[in-house]
Structure formats: C-alpha cells, structure tokens
Amino acid sequence: MASEALVQLFHVYKQYAGEGPALADATLEVGRGEFVFLTGPSGAGKSTLLKLIFCAEPATSGQLLVFGRNVAKILPRHVPPLRRAIGVVFQDFKLLPHRTVAENVAVPLEVRGLAPRDVARKVAVVLRSVGLELKAGKFPLSLSGGEQQRVAVARALVGDPALLLADEPTGNLDPDRTVEVMDLIEAANARGTTVVVATHDRSLLERYQRRVIALESGRVISDGDAFRRRAGS
C-alpha cells in the first residue's frame, strides 16, 4: 500500500533536560497510507515520538522528516500548516474545559477558516460516529472518562487529516467502544489517512494484524509487519 514515506526518522535522539534519553537512535519510516501500531512499556518513549512528529517537542539530534520536510529545522511559522495536516488524539485528551463538546471538535476546522455552516455539518457527522450526538452541548468536565476520550478522537478525525497520531486512544473505553473507535480509525485509514496508534492494549495488536513498532527505553526493539514477533514474549 505504501511507497512514499510520510514520516522518516534517522538516528533521532530526544533527551529532556536532566533525564536519560526518552528516545535513542530511533530510525524508522512510515509510508503514506500505512497503519502502524506503536507499543512498549510505560515510559518507553511512545508519546515522545509522537510529540516530535507534530513538532510539540524538538528532537535533540538526528533527522526527522514529516511530509518530506525536515522538522528539526522548521521555522515557527511553518509549524501551524504542518499541524493542520495532522490529527492528534492526546493521551490526556487536552480538551478545552470551557467549550462545549461541539466547540471542542470544531476547533481544528475553525483554525482552518472553514465557514461556520460547514463546520457545524462536519462536527455533527463526526460526533454521531463516536456516539456522542447527545453530548454536543455538554462541557468536557461533565462527561465520563470514556466520553471525553471519544471527543478527543472526534476532534482528531474531523478534519480528515493526512496523518493521524493517536496516543492510547482507547485506554478509557470498554471493549465494545474500543472496537467502534478502532473501526473509525481504520475507516479513515481506508480513505487514505496515514495512521500511527500508540497503545498498550495487546488485544488491539492481535485483533488488527498491522505493522507493530515496539519501543523500550527509547529504543526501537522491533519493527514487524504484524504482531507475530511479540506474540511469543
């Protein structure tokens, strides 16, 4: 499916001030249209890798190309357009507490300057797809944990991004909801979105036989076309 590379890392290191390396000598490639799982124990560097990709953190050294652009040397004014092409499900959701669910989901569209009518239509569609059409007018803090997580997923998907980075997008969801959300992400992938999902959930890796990149202590310890390799551990 993939030929052109959308994300390329060459010997990327990331060291937070006063810490050991969170990412060490990471080299990998994600092709356009791919669906990749990122796994590894707590603190392995999964979120850090995703943060580097959407320029929330700078790499300490190494080369990191996103959409063919070297983001190690990216100018501040080139960051917003890049981020607008990426949908992110944050591990801690990062919802705006004083905006309704619908307003939260609308932000990526408003940022792009879409007309209010189009925004409303798209938001309604995506909220229905995550089963939150009845919560559109509620505030995030009055939602259950799983509902908040689905709002985060909806916000990431609403703009039909070229690249979707989902950090533990089902950690607060029951098995049925998990399958629903993962099916949504698969559907986006089928429409052409490149997907990277960071997760601990082995059942996901087993159910969706996709390429799995495993990190440990910041290093890529395996990169296989499916879950086979880890099944033994």
Ligand X SMILES: Nc1ncnc2c1ncn2[C@@H]1O[C@H](COP(=O)(O)OP(=O)(O)OP(=O)(O)O)[C@@H](O)[C@H]1O
| Residues in contact with ligand X by the rule CB under 6 A | 16, 19, 22, 40, 42-48, 91, 142-147, 172
| Contact between 232 and a second copy per CB under 8 A | no
Query: Mask: binding to a second copy, 99-138, rule CB under 8 A, as x and -?
Result: ----------------------------------------
Residue 184 to residue 186: CA distance in whole angstroms: 5
Residue 221's SS3 state is strand
Contact stretch for another protein (CB under 8 A) within 24-32, 42-50, 59-67, 76-84 = 76-84
CB closer to ligand X, 40 vs 62? 40
| Contact between 145 and Mg ion per CB under 5 A | yes
CB closer to Mg ion, 60 vs 91? 91
Residue 111 to residue 171: CA distance in whole angstroms: 28
Give min distance, CB of 95 to another protein, in A. Answer: 8
CB closer to a second copy, 80 vs 175? 175
Among positions 46-85, residues that touch a second copy (CB under 8 A) are 46-48
Are 163 and 4 in contact by the 8 Å Cβ rule? The answer is no
Structure tokens at 74: 């990216």
Backbone angles phi, psi at 21, to 5 degrees: -70, 135
Contact stretch for a second copy (CB under 8 A) within 6-14, 56-64, 76-84, 166-174 = 166-174
Residue 178 to residue 168: CA distance in whole angstroms: 11
Give min distance, CB of 70 to Mg ion, in A. Answer: 25
Query: Mask: binding to another protein, 109-138, rule CB under 8 A, as x and -?
Result: -xxxx--x----------------------
Backbone angles phi, psi at 10, to 5 degrees: -125, 110
Per-residue burial over 32-53, b = 16 or more CB atoms within 10 Å of its CB, e = otherwise: bbbbbbbbbeeebbbbbbbbbb
For residue 69, give Cα distances in angstroms to 23, 72, 82, 144: 20, 9, 9, 39
Query: Mask: binding to another protein, 46-75, rule CB under 8 A, as x and -?
Result: --------x-x-x-----------------
Are 105 and 158 in contact by the 8 Å Cβ rule? The answer is yes
Structure tokens at 197: 């999902």
Give min distance, CB of 226 to ligand X, in A. Answer: 21
| Contact between 142 and Mg ion per CB under 5 A | no
**Among 32, 99, 177, 200, interactor with another protein by CB under 8 A:** 99
